[in-house]
Structures are given as C-alpha cells and as structure tokens.
Amino acid sequence: MTSASEANRIGESSKAPVAQLDRVPDYESVGCAFKSRRARSRRGRGIKESRVPVRDPAPELLNPGLLESSHEKWMRAALAEAEAAAAEGEVPVGCVVVHEGRIIGRGHNRIESLKDPTAHAEIVAIGAAATTLENWRLSGATVYVTIEPCLMCAGALTLARPDLVVFGARDPKFGCLGSRYDIARDNRFNHKLKVVEGVLAAEAGVLMKRFFRGRRSARQGTGREGSASAERREERGTGRKRGKSLEAAHRIRRGTVPVFGGTSARNARMHNA
C-alpha cells in the first residue's frame, strides 16, 4: 500500500507546468523550433500565418552602373543648360532639379542678362523647383549642377534641403563643396547635404575652358587692334609735328616768321642781310 505522502508526490509529478506541456510536443530535431498553442490552433483551423514580404534589393544596389547612368542622364540636361548660357554670353553653368523622375526646375547663369549678381544657375533652378512643388523644401529632390556651387549657392542648397546634390567639375577658386570650403561637412548647420561629385566632369570642364579661352582671345584681339590704332595715330602725329617743324624752319629762313628777340631773331636778321 502506498502512503498518503507518496500519493501526493505522484500527483504533483503528473502535473507539469502548462508551458512545458505546451512546448514539449512541438520541439523538432533540427533547430529545436517550437510553436505556441495559439499557432497550433490557427494551423488546425486552416488559418495561414501572415508573413512579411521580402523585398528585392534596389536595382542600383545590384548594379551600381544603373545609378551612374541615371546621374549622367540628368547631368546631360544640366550641360544643355550650360551650353545655352554660353550661347547668351554667360559663364556656362547649368542646373536642373529632379523629383520623382522628372525635372521640376532648370536654369543657367543669367548674371549679365539680368544684371543681377545672384542670378546663378542653382538659384534660378531652385526657385523654379520651389514654385513647381509649391514648397520651399525640396525634400525628395536631387540637384544636378555642372560646376561645383559657390558659397552663395551652397548656402541656398543647404536651406532648400534636397536629398542629394550632384555636380560635375570642381571650381578651385569659388567652389564650396570641397574646394575652397566644404559646407556639406560643417556640422554646425541643421541640415547636412549629401554630395556626389565628378559626374561628367570632363565635359563640364571643357565647356568652361572653351568659354574663357574665347573670351581671352577676344580681349587680346581688341588689345592688338587698339595698340595698332594707337601706333598709327602716333605716327600721324609725329609726321605732322615733323612737317610743322620743317615748315617753320623754312619760314624762319625766308624771314616771314616774327621772332621776338633772342638768338633766333639775330639769326633771322643775319640771314636777311
């Protein structure tokens, strides 16, 4: 016969914790995975478990060349603006603002035509983009500019807060995104620009060099013409002076020029005598 204490011990051992009874039958030999009672009941009723869909990586991450070609596509639009500026006699800098796959603002230098020192390509394009979005914040936009922005334009870009700024060639004299100064790395501002540089930099640089070479040639040509004209005027003037002096000498010899005393008067009287 079993005593009462042994019976109580057997009864307690047969009462395992609920969590243990719940989990033990569902352990698997591989990975020791288990499912809760709620998961088993849902599976028994034929309810499928919801799974978070796995997204494929972005195409540009699988193939960085796609992102590069996209940058080149929009940079060529900016280069077209730069060529328009050169045709108008402006420094060839162009800019476009792209948002959701379309250009929402474009511009090129118009300093000379507008007689406005702030009419840089970036300022014109940013203003047009803000008008299109009806918002001064260019969130979700990418700005493409052929030449590294100056201090004014880099500040304007910081205020406009685009997602990305892409520029072509560096400007060693005025560039403020890495050349003379780097506003993008200055942590004192409340917005930090993300910058990509060097996209079609060679083509942007060729436009600038061609423009300033032509301007220098025009100035040198004007200078040569001006110096030649000055030389001709000087020769004519020297000839006139030489002719006048000879004529005066002949008149003095003939005694027709009044001379008021001095050696010239005595020479004239002696000549007449």
Per residue in 38-67, pLDDT (tens digit) is 555 555 555 554 444 444 444 444 455 555
The whole-angstrom separation of Cα 147 and Cα 172 is 10
- Amino acid 26: pLDDT: 44
Contact, 143 vs 165, CB < 8 A?
yes
Rounded distance, CA 198 to CA 165, Å?
11
Tokens of 56: 């494929």
Catalytic residue list contains 28: no
Tokens 């118009």: give the residue. 110
Amino acid 92: pLDDT: 96
The pLDDT score that the predictor gives to residue 253 is 60
The chain-wide mean pLDDT, for the chain, equals 76
**pLDDT attached to residue 265:** 47
With pLDDT > 90 as the criterion, what percentage of the chain qualifies?
Answer: 51
DSSP strand E in 91-223: where? 94-99, 102-108, 141-147, 164-169, 195-197
More confident residue, 29 or 149: 149
Alpha helices in 134-173 (DSSP H): 151-160
pLDDT higher at 224 or 20: 224
Tell me what the mean pLDDT of segment 101-111 comes to. Answer: 96
Greater pLDDT, 32 or 95: 95
Q: Is 78 a residue whose pLDDT tops 80?
A: yes
Residue of higher predicted confidence among 151 and 21: 151
Angstrom CA distances, 66 to 69, 74, 102, 164, stand at 5, 13, 17, 17
245-267 pLDDT, tens digit per residue, is 666 655 656 655 444 344 444 44
In this predicted structure, which of 113-117, 193-197, 223-227 has the lowest mean pLDDT?
223-227
What does the pLDDT average to over 184-192?
Answer: 90
Q: Check if the beta carbon of residue 96 is closer than 8 Å to that of residue 125.
A: yes
Least confident of 119-128, 196-205, 213-222: 213-222
How many helices (H) and strands (E) the chain has is answered by 10, 5
pLDDT at residue number 70: 87
Active-site residue identified among 6, 122, 203, 234: 122
Nearest to 125 by CA among 99, 151, 101, 91: 99
What gap in Å lies between CA 197 and CA 149, rounded to an integer?
Answer: 11
179 pLDDT higher than 70: yes
Q: Which residues contact 255 (CB under 8 A, 6 or more apart)?
A: 268, 271, 272
pLDDT at 190: 87
How much is the pLDDT for 218?
Answer: 84
Q: Which residue has the tokens 């499912």?
A: 35
Say how many CA atoms lie within 13 Å of 75 toward its Cβ.
23
